[in-house]
Structure 1
């Protein structure tokens, strides 16, 4: 049978596909911090994307983002004004993310806030109003992800974790090495510095140097953010942690991973795990360890300067946060494809531990605060004494004293189980 030469050339790369679109993709962003500001910028340089609305509880921060990027904007003080601004081709700026979640004409809803309880409310509304949901908010993503995934399916839209942060970048590494025929042994992060007891006061000099929010910088420094990102990865890939909080040995370079871990024992006892190395180069990078014991492949990998095996460290020297985000957002919109979802359910979670001696009657102040840090653990190990998920640790009261570094259990607390974040977390467990 003759093959026709008149085959229409279809766009192949994501950029080509976006350039070929006849209409723009209207996007709404919640959160005008470092990530939200970056995503707003990327929407101005990525073909076909246009951010039509930006919300932040600190209105002046959203306004500052729009002005810094030279975007024509209009402050909306009502839902009607929001719609008017969008129709006029202006960036609608407001305080209430729920308006964006319910607004007509917005196709993609990106949560780049650090809210948890409120994110549960506006992300749920966005999915129920038929918007694709992309999460740059790792905390709400971890707490409610399985529920969001089911809700997205029920409403015919896509829910996905975003690319650019470590868990998304590591997922791409894992996708590559497993496609190449290697067995995943470890999905790994590189942590520059760790102080479990950092707080929003002690962190001020470092946060100011990096132009970071004090609580967010604290969450980076005390390891809670690291654990949350690795839990998202574990729940997407069906992985475990070998010990609470992971091992995290010090290393000079990520290539030392096979020397810093007993990979034979980990593989034998746990299967594939998440973990990290501390203080290693390349700073800001990520890695994954693959196993292959085939003589031919080992010989070729040695020739390719990857070492004798059978364990091979694949690493990337950077993760670029908002810079890398748009491919995953485009894939969610164009293809319904998700870079990362909690398909394995709650295999792991991050639980609260006391940063200092805490007294009965004290209120916990959540992630990046003065009272607790979070450690990743396997959910299956919580059956006897369930811990407090750190994503729910804001505004709950202690019923008893808790010593420094002691795990905070649900039975230690006075709290309202009907509070929205606890209710959505329960739905996420049921969805699992």
Structure 2
């Protein structure tokens, strides 16, 4: 990582800045926008947002220099590139198709939009950074394949926790350590699974002044709280690091940094893991609501295993935090800066030709699970809403129950009653194969169904398994 800024400076000096287009001017997008003009060798060529005013407000609010963007929101994409000014457009497809733009940042958080934008990037040969973890978990394993076939790079977003976890896992494996567990911290209690947009702020702790800034969408933040976002992020990590989801979803054990290697080791060695090589999220709250000592609410971690007594002794000599046997040790990063760090992905792609994390396989999935008893005829309101949350499970288990991915659990109508806590199936809802996102997801399922069967990892799914999904 030590040479990236130097190489960016060389691009600046040579008059060949990286031209970036961003889709979505919400919180994450605004954080990147605020930093984009501070980086040598990078230009924010365009912002695509369905509301031009939101993009303009983002530029103003984040302190983007007024002389560097089109304040009228009327300049064409081509003219903006010529003048070196950031252009605002409502047409993301036109931005992706514009010659001269090198990298697209997909920051919509909308799974269907994310799929559409990746396929457009494949068509127009634009690298893409997928900030949209919802789309990545919905169809990332297949989208990654399509991107490689198109000769473009499809990357996770540095600054978001999955990419930072990837970095820690890559460090561990490069140094020759087996990864026992990897994941992140969050604020979670079991009752949060039933949280709704009406109750989210009671749990979150934001002040009225913070909420008044307009940066906080209750349904989006509720998806962080009810476990959906954690499930999505751990599915992304499982898919990119070839790790295994826990057998019955995330446990969210209360755990501080001092206890990571003690808690996150196999049950056979006195820990809480089903086995080695898994993902997990630790909570900053004890079950009774007290704050955990040395909590990791904003950070990421990896737990590694010493290959032998010599390495265990080295762990001890150099002060690593270990379990009581000295066999397991942890490393962590206490914070992540989200969009403020996103430029690392842009630079890695353009300077090194490498993504900052990318799907390797389909290991984890997130299935829509009922928050309450649901009735036939009700229309699902998606992640973070009043009706369902996302539960992490293995891809094999998802295929076995024909699980309805949380990313497509919005706007579809239930065909039957569903009990609280039950995982939903494709068979439980009315859906259209004509939807691009549905078609891509079903194509991915069919591909992996055959591959898993050929590898002996699954048998033929049974309809009866659907009714037992929990």
TM-score, normalized by the shorter chain, greater than 0.5: yes
Deviations 1:210-251 (A, max 9, x none): 532112101101111111111001001111112232221112
Aligned residues: 418
CA shift for structure 1 position 264: 4.8
Are residue 62 (structure 1) and residue 55 (structure 2) matched? Answer: yes
* Alignment check: 8 A CA contact 1:30 1:112 kept: yes
Paired residue for 1:215, among 219, 225, 238? 219
> What is residue 237 of structure 1 aligned with on the other side?
241
> What is residue 4 of structure 1 aligned with on the other side?
none
CA shift for structure 1 position 48: 0.6
Which ranges of structure 1 fall in alignment gaps of 5 or more residues? 1-10
- Aligned pairs for 1:43-62 (under 5 A) are 43-62=36-55
* Alignment check: 8 A CA contact 2:367 2:390 kept: yes
Are residue 315 (structure 1) and residue 315 (structure 2) matched? Answer: no
> What is residue 311 of structure 2 aligned with on the other side?
297
SS of the residue aligned with 1:181? coil
CA shift for structure 1 position 181: 2.0
SS of the residue aligned with 2:302? strand
CA shift for structure 1 position 184: 0.5
Are residue 389 (structure 1) and residue 389 (structure 2) matched? Answer: no
> What is residue 411 of structure 1 aligned with on the other side?
427
Q: Distance in 2 between matches of 1:164 and 1:88?
A: 30
Are residue 256 (structure 1) and residue 259 (structure 2) matched? Answer: yes
Q: Distance in 1 between matches of 2:391 and 2:175?
A: 32
> What is residue 176 of structure 1 aligned with on the other side?
171
* Alignment check: 8 A CA contact 2:264 2:272 kept: no
* Alignment check: 8 A CA contact 1:164 1:325 kept: yes
SS of the residue aligned with 1:35? helix
> What is residue 375 of structure 1 aligned with on the other side?
391
Q: Distance in 2 between matches of 1:268 and 1:402?
A: 30
* Alignment check: 8 A CA contact 1:367 1:390 kept: yes
Paired residue for 1:326, among 331, 343, 349? 343
> What is residue 201 of structure 1 aligned with on the other side?
198
State the TM-score, normalized to the length of structure 2: 0.84
Are residue 13 (structure 1) and residue 3 (structure 2) matched? Answer: yes
CA shift for structure 1 position 261: 4.3
> What is residue 297 of structure 2 aligned with on the other side?
283
Which ranges of structure 2 fall in alignment gaps of 5 or more residues? 285-291, 449-470
> What is residue 273 of structure 1 aligned with on the other side?
278
> What is residue 354 of structure 2 aligned with on the other side?
337
Decide whether aligned partners of structure 1 residues 94 and 431 sit closer, same or farther in structure 2, where only a CA change above 3 A counts.
farther
Q: Distance in 1 between matches of 2:373 and 2:18?
A: 50
SS of the residue aligned with 1:122? helix
State the TM-score, normalized to the length of structure 1: 0.91
* Alignment check: 8 A CA contact 1:101 1:129 kept: yes
> What is residue 7 of structure 1 aligned with on the other side?
none
* Alignment check: 8 A CA contact 1:66 1:73 kept: no
* Alignment check: 8 A CA contact 1:53 1:100 kept: yes
Deviates more, 1:20-29 or 1:320-329: 320-329
Decide whether aligned partners of structure 1 residues 75 and 272 sit closer, same or farther in structure 2, where only a CA change above 3 A counts.
farther
CA shift for structure 1 position 202: 1.9
What is the RMSD computed on CA atoms of the aligned residues?
2.2
Are residue 143 (structure 1) and residue 138 (structure 2) matched? Answer: yes
* Alignment check: 8 A CA contact 1:145 1:342 kept: yes
Q: Distance in 1 between matches of 2:399 and 2:6?
A: 50
Decide whether aligned partners of structure 1 residues 167 and 201 sit closer, same or farther in structure 2, where only a CA change above 3 A counts.
same
CA shift for structure 1 position 74: 4.7
